[in-house]
Amino acid sequence: MIVADPAPKPLLVDSFGRRVSYLRVSVTDRCDFRCRYCMAEAMTFLPRRELLSLEELALIVDRFVDRGVTKVRLTGGEPLVRRGLPELAKRIGERIGTGLNELTLTTNGTRLTEAARPLAEAGVRRINVSLDTLDRERFAYIARRDCLDEVLAGIAAARTAGLAIKINMVALKGLNDDGFVEMAEWCAAQGFDLSIIETMPLGQIDEDRTDRFLPLNLARERLAQRFTLEDSDHSTGGPSRYIHARELDIHIGFISPLTHNFCASCNRVRLTAEGKLYLCLGQADCVDLKAALRGGGPRALDAALDEAMRIKPKAHDFRIERTAVSRHMSVTGG
């Protein structure tokens, strides 16, 4: 068993003066969907023996919190396919109020009917649910799985458990780009906020992403035809730029890494299930926290975090016409 080192360490600040306060933890690269913009149908996932244990994940998160991380998001793949995820959430949730301000989760919703209440009891107060369309046939085509009923039931269970919900919708030209208004109206009726996201060139998939790429200025234009959109300073600590739809009284966020990057204010790093810490979603720079923790304990982990801050890139280089990195989105959770 690795014993935590209580010695204080400085806050995590990269070489460009950006303070890292947000850690995204991919607890698994596996998913029960095969969304066309994210994965190929035939995927090879990490052997389970290569994953960090739940105890190791908790220890690493502890050290991040000790060094100034105030927000942790659990992601995947689909995080709820990882056995013991609610127990990990409970362990991390113990840090809320002692450095950690918020523990959140992103999910596709299929397993929320069982997991929503345990997550709420663990300290999760807010979740993001990926939902690209409310149309059953389109949903089955995009996700390659006919699971819309399970997702909607999971969302309902999460709301019953008291979790605040934001819907994440990836904009896909020719597939769901006529559905922004419907989604916004549905979110407003349910009491949810909405984020619309540009598809990102990560990992090889079975299709040409350029055929489906939609700049988010077009999404905004379509919403503006129906609603009065007002700029907003609303923030959840992530990369969304929010507007307020007056008639619906909801916030709609836009995450646009290709057409309007947010690198200058980047406060995020991403830990994979096998312990690699990626410093930028669109770059390959990383440090191996699993090797550091297992090889040298907390002191080596701190040294690895210092090195990570030294090498964190200034910006990504996303271009839709080429794959930025071979790593799939499911490895680092977006």
Q: How high is the pLDDT of residue 42?
A: 82
Domains and CATH numbers, the chain: 22-332 (3.20.20.70)
Q: What b-and-e string marks burial along 309-321, b requiring 16 or more CB atoms within 10 Å of the CB?
A: beebbeebebebe
Q: What is the DSSP letter of 3?
A: P
Structure tokens at 138: 């389109």
Q: How high is the pLDDT of residue 84?
A: 96
Q: How high is the pLDDT of residue 1?
A: 53
How do 193-198 and 164-171 pair as beta strands? Answer: parallel
Stated pTM of the model: 0.89
Known binding residue 270? Answer is yes
Known binding residue 187? Answer is no
Known binding residue 280? Answer is yes
Looking at this protein, which amino acid is placed at residue 263?
A: C
Measured distance CA(46)–CA(222) in Å, rounded: 40
Question: Which range has highest mean pLDDT (36-40, 64-68, 266-270, 282-286)?
Answer: 64-68
**pLDDT over 70, % of the chain:** 87
How confident is the model over 100-143, as pLDDT tens digits? 999 999 999 999 999 999 999 999 999 999 999 999 999 999 99
Using CB atoms within 10 A of its CB, is residue 140 exposed (0-12), middle (13-18) or buried (19+)? middle
What is the dihedral angle through the alpha carbons of 267, 169, 159, 248, rounded to the nearest 10 degrees? 100
Known binding residue 130? Answer is yes
Quickly tell me which residue has 């839709």 as its tokens: 320
Known binding residue 166? Answer is yes
Q: How high is the pLDDT of residue 158?
A: 98
Known binding residue 276? Answer is no
How confident is the model over 62-91, as pLDDT tens digits? 999 999 999 999 999 999 999 999 999 999
Structure tokens at 329: 């989105």
Known binding residue 1? Answer is no
How confident is the model over 25-39, as pLDDT tens digits? 999 999 999 988 887
Known binding residue 287? Answer is no
Closest CA to 168 of 255, 226, 102, 245: 255
236 pLDDT tier (thresholds 50, 70, 90): confident
297 pLDDT tier (thresholds 50, 70, 90): very high
DSSP characters for 29-83? S--S---TTT--SS--PPPGGGSPPHHHHHHHHHHHHHTT--EEEEESSSGGGST
Known binding residue 30? Answer is no
Measured distance CA(22)–CA(239) in Å, rounded: 11
Q: How high is the pLDDT of residue 262?
A: 64
Q: Which helix (H) or strand (E) holds 105?
A: strand 102-107
322 pLDDT tier (thresholds 50, 70, 90): very low
Known binding residue 246? Answer is no
- Peptide bond preceding 297 in cis form (omega within 30 of 0): no
Supply the mean pLDDT for the chain: 89
200 pLDDT tier (thresholds 50, 70, 90): confident
Measured distance CA(292)–CA(67) in Å, rounded: 17
Residues 220/207, Cβ–Cβ less than 8 Å = no
Task: Tell me the mean pLDDT in the region 266-294.
Answer: 92
Known binding residue 141? Answer is no
Handedness of CA 272, 276, 277, 278 (dihedral sign): negative
211 pLDDT tier (thresholds 50, 70, 90): confident
